[in-house]
Amino acid sequence: MKIEGVTLRELRMRLNAPFETSFGITQDRRILLIEMLADGVTGWGEITTLESPSYNSETTDTAWHIISDFLAPLVVGQNVSTAAELPPLLEPIRGHYMAKAGVENALWDVEAQQRSMPLWKLLGGTREEITCGVSLGIRENPQSLVKKVEEELSCGYQRIKLKIKPGKDLNFLTAVRNVFPNIVLSVDANSAYRLKDADHLRKFDEFDLLMIEQPLEWDDIYSHALLQPKIRTAICLDECISNDRHVIGAIESGACKIVNIKLGRVGGHTSARKVQDVCRERKVPVWCGGMLESGVGRAHNIAMSTLPGFTLPGDVSASQRYWSQDIIEPPVDVGPMGTITAPNGFGLGYNVNRELIDRLTVRTRSWRDAAYASS
Ligand code: OSB
Ligand code: MG
């Protein structure tokens, strides 16, 4: 595949409702999309950064910079036989996993279309249907959270994850567990606690949680290895894991029993596949995390979630939970049993709504291989 051109755009999209985590509130998303042209075929990728460096160190603007000044000039004009050959070319650029993932994933979409296959099959996916959970933001009071949980359960979602932070944890958990004693429940702290809070975190054990996600520092695997033996609840790492080497260290040191794989955070489909292989070999369950994506990122998440290691429900849910109108057609829909059917169309398997994308776009930059510049 000869990479003929790359277009980078920034879209403004407003979430239907503000989403609160331990690090802040998000409603107005600044979403970057990559449109890649190779051998006459167009593929799409999404950069899953947030607007501020509060989840990890990347932002919409750092990704714009890295793609504009380094990644796009490097990839345009390259000739590769498969998208999996792209990551080694990007290796000289340190970090910036989400920026790289957006570029690599667009090429995976191209490759799947060229081979006349759904992307999920090209990746090696084995499940035609993926199971879905929801991630619920921190709310004003426990009663309103209970009401929200009830709504999501009535839509069929198979697992409820509650965002928590100090002062808004045990009280909210107690309220939800009292009303729903048997649901599959987990919590996500986004690094809001410290190892010295181990006695407090041990109190979560009585709520029979599927997992506690990323309780400690975003970049510290060792502190989680010290915490896990002190609590019964399984630790799941999110922020800490950027590649297969990290996940080997985390599992071997006992820092986690479950892994959240985010396609952007690990740098794209090639790395995500390696991370899930490492976990599967060690019998560690994985699931697909979310970053409040538009339909393009969501479609990539669905494809990844069909890989055999993804045995737990992910944070991949219906488009309508996020957007009044998604940028793909049809929007992602979740069935009454809380599942999404992997699409049969080639590539992502959803149509990208260019007209809507154009309307939402606030800036664009394009690179074209010199050999095609005049065409
Ligand atoms: O930690 O999983 C997280 C959203 C933004 C940043 C980090 C996280 C999240 C979510 C939402 O939990 C997942 C989603 O619904 O997309
Ligand atoms: Mg998380």
Q: How far is C-alpha 342 from the chain's CA centre?
A: 17
Ligand 2 centre distance from Cα of residue 315 (Å): 9
Nearest CA residue ID for atom 13, ligand 1: 290
Across 185-200, average pLDDT: 98
Distance 235 CA to ligand 2 centre (A): 11
CA of residue 153 to ligand 2 center, whole Å: 20
pLDDT given for residue 373 in this prediction: 63
Could you read off the pLDDT of 42-51 as tens digits, one per residue? 999 999 999 9
Is residue 157 lining ligand 1, measured as CB closer than 6 Å? no
pLDDT score for 249: 98
pLDDT tens string 110-125: 999 999 999 999 999 9
- If we measure between CA atoms, which residue out of 342, 299, 337 comes closest to residue 129? 342
Q: What per-residue confidence (pLDDT) applies to 98? A: 98
pLDDT of 201-215, one tens digit each? 999 999 999 999 999
Any atom of ligand 1 within 6 Å of the Cβ of 323: no
Place domain 121-349 in its CATH homologous superfamily.
Answer: Enolase-like C-terminal domain (3.20.20.120)
Q: pTM score, two decimals? A: 0.98
Ligand 2 center from residue 50 Cα (angstroms): 13
Atom of ligand 1 nearest to the CA of 317: 15
Per-residue pLDDT band for 371 (boundaries 50, 70, 90) equals confident
Across the range 119-141, mean pLDDT stands at 98
**What does the pLDDT average to over 14-40?**
98
User: Using N-to-C axis directions, what is the helix angle for 244-252 and 269-281, rounded to 10°?
Assistant: 20
- Per-residue pLDDT, 374: 54
262 is catalytic: yes
Residue 375 has pLDDT above 60, yes or no: no
CA distance 286 to 276: 7
3-117+352-374 sits in which CATH class? alpha beta
Which helix (H) or strand (E) segment holds residue 187: the answer is strand 185-188
Q: Measured from the CB, is residue 295 less than 6 Å from ligand 1?
A: no
CB-ligand 1 contact for 292 (6 Å cutoff)? yes
d(Cα 56, Cα 317) in Å, to the nearest integer? 22
- Say if residue 234 is exposed, middle or buried (CB neighbours under 10 Å; 0-12, 13-18, 19+): middle
Q: Which of 100, 121, 161, 163 is catalytic?
A: 163
Hey, how many other C-beta atoms are within 10 angstroms of the C-beta on 245?
A: 12
Spacing, Cα 246 to ligand 1 middle (Å): 20
- Give mean pLDDT, residues 10-17: 98
Share of the chain above pLDDT 90, in %: 98
From the alpha carbon of 238, which atom of ligand 1 is closest? 1
Q: What percent of the chain has pLDDT over 70?
A: 99
- The answer, yes or no, to whether residue 244 has pLDDT greater than 90, is yes
Identify the three-state secondary structure at position 312: coil
- The ranges assigned to domains in the chain are 3-117+352-374, 121-349
Average pLDDT score, the chain: 97
* Residue 163 annotated in active site: yes
Strands (DSSP E) found in 189-244: 212-213, 235-237
Cβ(131) to ligand 1 under 6 A? no
Of 306, 304, 310, the residue nearest 280 (C-alpha):
310
Q: Which one of 50, 135, 238, 261 would you pick to mutate in the ligand 1 pocket, going by the greatest count of ligand atoms within 8 A of its CB?
A: 135
Query: Does the Cβ of 291 fall within 6 Å of ligand 1?
Result: yes
pLDDT at 370: 87
For helices 295-305 and 269-281, angle between their N-to-C axes, nearest 10 degrees: 30
**Nearest CA owner, ligand 1 atom 6:** 291
Residue-wise pLDDT tens digits, 51-93? 999 999 999 999 999 999 999 999 999 999 999 999 999 999 9
Q: What is the pLDDT of residue 274?
A: 98
Report whether the peptide linkage leading into residue 330 is cis, meaning its omega lies within 30 degrees of zero. yes
